[in-house]
Chains A and B, each alone.
Chain A
Amino acid sequence: MVKELFIKRWYFGLAGIALALLLWVAAAITA
């Protein structure tokens, strides 16, 4: 089930990390 739901959709994990990184970068720039 974990495989079907999440591992098969690895690109969402990548997108999530990318968004989180982007958020931190944005915060670091304005800090």
Chain B
Amino acid sequence: MVFFEKAMEFFQGCDTITLVGVFVGIIGLGLALWFVLSYSAAHHAGWFAGLVSVIFLLTVGLVAVGAINSSTVIYLEIALVLIITIALFSKDIRRDLFKLSLDGGPRLISEHMDLTPEELRPVIERIVKSCQTLSKSDTGALIIICPQMIADFVSESGTYMNAELSSELIETVFYEGCPLHDGAMLVMGNKIVSAGCYLPLTQKLNLPKELGTRHRAALGITENDPTVTAVVVSEETGIISVMHDGQMKRYMDQQTLTKALEVAFGIAGSEKEFWEKDYEIE
């Protein structure tokens, strides 16, 4: 019962401010550990959660036997764990913060250039028509539908076009002799913003073998920016796939592709309803 005597002694001996400090410290450290443990567990890094738990249990042990008697060591340890967590998961944290900011707050550029559903429907028809033509001739294509401005490093990596979207133009850009065919085309509203853009590739290892770099790039950008939807026409098989937020739907026909694009342009159905019916590639 040494502990209780010590604890009573501590509580009697200290003032309100110290007590509040202890309380805030315990809650603060608890919340920090909650963040570190759940964040690493959610992002497939259970080993890191385990490592942090072991480190803190070791610290408790060392403090209990009196090997550590300076609070500075503990503060340093907590700071180090937080810094390592942020460094390890910087990409995920940035993405999650971005996703969180989508739930509210002002946006710099209005979604789909403020076009009405009536104005957007012909755009969808043109994209569907060109994808079908490209699919029939086994021509590879990668179209990114951006509701808002996409990251600069993507839009500036290609050639700026700012052209009215037409199926002929899409087919021309992805024609194999065209210098811009080997990159992504960015579409905002009824405009082709740029073409031949480079995208970050997904790092997922268990993608089916038949999916090449084009599919990896499309998945990569949807993982980085959860607002965009990517449409990919396979060069080998002519299969049309649609991707959004790290998820993928393959074998799209005219009807399903139209539905996917209507969801992407926000004119029919909800993203959640459309995408949650499918599997996620882990």
Q: Which residues of A contact B (CB under 8 A)?
A: 1-2, 4-6, 9, 12-13, 15-31
Task: Considering the complex, give the chain A residue whose CB is closest to the CB of B22.
Answer: A24
Would you call B66 and A30 a contact (CB within 8 A)?
A: yes
Residue picked from B22, B56, B69, most chain A C-beta under 10 Å: B56
- Of the candidates B38, B60, B99, B100, the one whose C-beta lies within 8 Å of that of A19 is B60
Would you call A12 and B60 a contact (CB within 8 A)?
A: no
Size of interface on B: residues with Cβ below 8 Å to A = 39
Number of CB contacts from chain A to chain B under 8 A: 92
Would you call A23 and B63 a contact (CB within 8 A)?
A: yes
B45 proximal to A (CB < 8 A): no
Would you call B2 and A29 a contact (CB within 8 A)?
A: yes
Q: Which residues of B contact A (CB under 8 A)?
A: 2-3, 6-7, 10, 22, 25-35, 37-39, 41-42, 49, 53, 56-57, 59-61, 63-66, 69, 71, 74, 96, 99-100
CA distance A13 to B37 in the complex (A): 8
Would you call B37 and A16 a contact (CB within 8 A)?
A: yes
- Of the candidates B3, B41, B64, the one whose C-beta lies within 8 Å of that of A9 is B41
Task: Considering the complex, give the chain A residue whose CB is closest to the CB of B41.
Answer: A9
Would you call A28 and B3 a contact (CB within 8 A)?
A: yes
Task: Considering the complex, give the chain A residue whose CB is closest to the CB of B11.
Answer: A28
CA distance A15 to B56 in the complex (A): 11
